[in-house]
Amino acid sequence: FVKAHNIPFKMNPSFPINSLHLMRGAVAAQHLGCFRPYVDAMMAAMWEDGANTGDPAIVQALLDQSGLDGAAMLAKAEDPEVKAELVANTEKAAARGAFGVPTFFANDEIFWGKERLPQVADALRKG
């Protein structure tokens, strides 16, 4: 998939990381209306740049560099409402069979991994 789509990729030397604050950050980004830029910035940092996204100070700097307010996002990620929403989202996803990122559901069928996107599109077309 990486070669076929000419995506820059390198294994992050800090992987695996504790991604809890990143997941909370994604929920916070939804609340703040900047989910897509957040995901784009964090995925590029993790899988293209090799940044240690397990370090909140590095995450804040990366968010600031991408034009987002890193301090506000990290603060929002600590909001009890955001934490509870992540727990609820995780429980719902696990109940459906999700086990990693990215997981896609097309109708009742589960697909895991970005390289499965053509299969997801096909399943959606078939309805």
Cβ atoms within 10 A of the Cβ of 16, count? Answer: 7
The pLDDT assigned to 2 comes to 77
pTM, to two decimals: 0.85
pLDDT reported for residue 114: 79
Contacts of 39 (CB under 8 A, 6+ apart): 26, 29
The pLDDT score that the predictor gives to residue 9 is: 79
Per the DSSP assignment, residues forming a β-bridge with 110 are: 105
The per-residue pLDDT for 113 is: 85
Q: How many CB atoms lie within 10 A of CB 97?
A: 11
Residue 109: Cβ within 10 Å count = 12
Phi, psi of 109 (to 5 degrees): -95, 140
DSSP annotation of 102 reads: S
pLDDT, tens digit only, all 127 positions of the chain: 778 878 777 789 999 999 999 999 999 999 999 999 999 999 999 988 999 999 999 999 999 999 999 999 999 999 999 999 999 999 999 999 998 888 999 988 999 887 888 899 999 999 7
The angle formed by the CA atoms of residues 81, 85 and 89, to the nearest 5 degrees, is 175
Q: Which residues lie below 8 Å from residue 34, measured CB to CB, with a gap of 6+?
A: 68, 73
Per-residue model confidence (pLDDT) at position 27:
98
